[in-house]
């Protein structure tokens, strides 16, 4: 059994995916065994909290349109594979493309810079933004 996370803008599989991994308001968790889906709210609204949800849910893979260095680092550390979906498609379309092996597996972040994960590790303690703490 595998669980696949899909970064979503709403708690509905027929709605558009979120365009930003860490800012995805919802994460659709698709179970490949029973074909069920559930939605988990991303209350933290950042890459670290989204990755932690994936880990708690037991996800093996995650589908996104774009991801920064920090969030991708959290996924890699947890051995969660990343897959890039085209922009402007629904969560269900992305999941179906995953099942049909039509998504590209990535082993590096798709967006360089701009994410909090990469800036957090490169700053002195006094300069670290509050989003990087905790």
Q: What is the pLDDT along the chain (134 residues), one digit of tens a residue?
A: 799 999 999 999 999 999 999 999 999 999 999 889 999 999 999 999 999 999 999 999 999 999 999 999 999 999 999 999 999 999 999 999 999 999 999 988 887 655 444 444 443 444 444 444 43
Which domains occur in the chain, in start order? 3-132 (3.30.420.130)
> In this predicted structure, what is the pLDDT of residue 100?
96
- Dihedrals phi, psi of 27, to nearest 5 degrees: -125, 120
> In this predicted structure, what is the pLDDT of residue 125?
46
31, 51, 63, 132 from 66: Cα distances, Å: 22, 14, 9, 20
Contacting residues for 62 by C-beta, under 8 A, at least 6 apart: 4, 5, 6, 7, 54, 75, 80, 81, 82, 83
> In this predicted structure, what is the pLDDT of residue 57?
96
Spatial distance between the Cα atoms of 65 and 53, rounded to a whole number of angstroms: 18
Residue with tokens 């810079």: 113
> In this predicted structure, what is the pLDDT of residue 110?
85
> In this predicted structure, what is the pLDDT of residue 112?
66
Contacting residues for 25 by C-beta, under 8 A, at least 6 apart: 8, 9, 10, 18, 41, 42, 45
> In this predicted structure, what is the pLDDT of residue 8?
97
């Amino acid at each position: 059994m595998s669980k696949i996370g899909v970064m979503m803008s709403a708690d509905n599989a027929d709605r558009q995916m979120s365009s930003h991994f860490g800012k995805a308001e919802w994460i659709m968790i698709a179970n490949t065994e029973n074909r069920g889906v559930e939605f988990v709210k991303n209350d933290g609204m950042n890459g670290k909290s989204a990755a932690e949800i994936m880990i708690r849910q037991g996800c093996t893979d995650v589908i996104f349109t774009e991801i920064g260095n920090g969030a991708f680092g959290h996924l890699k550390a947890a051995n969660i594979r990343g897959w890039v979906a085209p922009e402007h498609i629904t969560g269900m379309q992305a999941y179906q493309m995953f099942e049909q092996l039509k998504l590209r597996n990535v082993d590096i972040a798709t967006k360089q810079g701009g994410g909090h994960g990469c800036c957090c590790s490169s700053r002195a303690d006094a300069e670290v933004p509050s989003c990087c703490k905790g």
